[in-house]
Structure 1
Amino acid sequence: MDVSIVVPLYNEEESLPELCAWIERVVNTNNLTYEIILIDDGSTDESWSVIEQLRAANLNIKGIRFQRNYGKSAALNEGFKAAQGDVVITMDADMQDSPDEIPELRRMIVEDGFDMVSGWKQKRFDNTLTKNIPSKFFNWATRKASKINLHDFNCGLKSYKRKVIKSVEVYGEMHRYIPVLAKWSGFRKIGEKVVEHRARKYGTTKFGWERFVNGFLDLASIMFVSKYGKRPMHFFGLIGSLFFFAGFLISIYLLVAKIIDPVNSLTNRVFFYVGLTAMIIGTQLFMAGFLGELIARNAPGRNSYLIEKKLGVE
């Protein structure tokens, strides 16, 4: 199969028929074998009924329905598991991403040899105050922290080699950081393409201002997990050892001071409490690293979602 188009959605009953028809026109014009995987993230409208109707008319359309709303990352993760195409393309269901970008996004993977290509919505139709300015700051911070030179990490329109999406695990709200996950999995050739951003035609945005707060928290999390997720003792153990050693040196100093001046009480010295606290913190951090090692080595699969129905997906 040439291409899998993975589309996470939540309450998008109005846009789905038009979106799927547009995708079909593009792939048929370019003679591509394809599948469209629609992941209904617990919609409360008639989105799933629309997916069933679309599936009945075109067997290349497949559906996954969550029992409740888990978020975009969970939807993408399940879509990635089901995807069978040599190239996997993700896009949002709200018609703000143009399916006309599919052939070029695929070409950059197949012919130019990129592992993944991220869209860049250079010209946006969003509100400048609430979206553009925070988004620019968010992308700048992510670019500096990850050393990946992309302008729009949060763009939903991306393309991947199949082995990339089979190698990364998207959980929490990590969909913003798939390029970072790909880099840490060893895929270094990450490209960027300026893509069309269309004004919203149906529905309302599903994300509020809190996504920027969550985004920075997720960035801190992913940078830590990427570096120390499989070896937490190297982080907690090192810091814990430094704290404990500092407290131990203070204890030696106080012990020597007590020998020299037996009359002076140790508990009257500030260093007594500093040293005691440092040793306690050091012990706790060391134990956190030890427990982290046990969890990391014995943890089962991270993702477990309650899927209510599937259409055409193994």
Structure 2
Amino acid sequence: MSSDENRNGCTTAAIIPAYNEAERIEKTVQSVDRHVDTTLVVDDASSDDTGPWARKAGAKVLTQPENKGYIAAIKRGFRAANTDIVVTIDADGEFPPDRIPPLVRPVCEGEADMVQGHRGTIVRPSEQFLTWLAGWGGPVGDSGTGFRALRTDLAQTLDLDGKCICGIFSLEVLGRGGKIQEVPVRLNEIDKPRGIAWYHGKQFFYVVQALVRTAFSLWKDDA
């Protein structure tokens, strides 16, 4: 339960997709829970004790019947949320929960429909390219971040068709007439291997499709 100021009366739920994060999830939930009203962990059919540890830390746990991936997990969290605002944050503790209030505040005050945590340097060249591509649809500096706050009613309308969120999340919000802001975040160092994101090759086609839909939607609004 949040210990922050009342955020002008807005209620907030954190959506934490998690897969085999038993070693980290308790600390993440405890850190996140200080800044939101509800913490929802979506356990993506983990083979370890991610779910029990999340419950012990105070989170409400939604368990996927089978491993369906990141996008399916956050969409389930969106559907379950009954707050004004939802925040997505990764289970591994890389994103700093104390940056949740700066993400939430502009959404609560009506200045933005979504606020993203900009990681600064984007390491993967493929992710850099997808962000550059998404930037043609609007002001997007980090389209692959897993740390964002947005209106719950907007989140529940998103299709998010793709192999990952890179590019498509921002473009869908823009295509629905949403206003996006970004705030800088400094990542925590974690000991976690990072493989090559081969799925970014397929993601290119999803981003192009989303870019075309966004451009058409904005063109219709201006016509």
* Range class of TM-score, shorter chain: 0.7 to 0.9
Aligned-pair CA distance for 1:169? 2.3
Q: 1:45 aligns with which of 43, 48, 53?
A: 48
Query: Which residue does 2:142 correspond to in 1?
Result: 152
Q: Within 5 Å, which residues of 2 pair with 1:73-92?
A: 73-92=71-90
List runs of 5+ in structure 2 lacking aligned partners.
1-9, 217-223
Letter in 2 for 1:134: S
Moved more, 172-181 or 76-85: 172-181
Q: Which runs of 4+ in 1 moved over 4 A?
A: 224-228
Quick one: structure 1 residues 174 and 180, their matched pair in 2 at CA, closer, same or farther if it must change by over 3 Å?
A: farther
Deviation readout 1:37-79 (Å, 9 max, x if unpaired): 101112122212223333xxx3xx2111112211111011101
* 1:138 alignment counterpart: 130
Matches within 5 A, 1:171-182: 171-173=161-163, 175-176=165-166, 177-182=168-173
Gaps of 5+ in 1: 229-314
**TM-score, normalised to structure 1's length?**
0.60
Residue 152 of structure 1 aligns to which amino acid in structure 2?
D
Q: Is the 8 A contact 1:73 1:175 kept in 2?
A: yes
Q: Higher Cα Rg: structure 1 or 2?
A: 1
> What are the within-5 Å matches in structure 2 for residues 186-205 of structure 1?
186-187=177-178, 189-201=179-191, 203-205=192-194
- Counterparts of 1:92-171 in structure 2, within 5 Å, are 92-111=90-109, 113-123=111-121, 128=123, 131=124, 133-144=125-136, 146=137, 148-171=138-161
**Equivalences, count:** 207
* TM-score after normalising by structure 2: 0.83
**Which structure: greater helix fraction?**
1
Determine what percentage of the aligned residue pairs are the same residue: 22
Q: What is the root-mean-square deviation of aligned Cα atoms in Å?
A: 2.3
Deviations 1:111-134 (A, max 9, x none): 25211111110146xxx5xx2x33
For each residue in 1:64-107, what CA deviation from the matched residue of structure 2 results, as whole angstroms up to 9, or x when unmatched? 11122111110111010011121111011111111001111111
8 Å CA contact 1:120, 1:155 repeated in 2:
yes
Contact 1:77–1:171 at 8 Å: present in 2 too? Answer: no
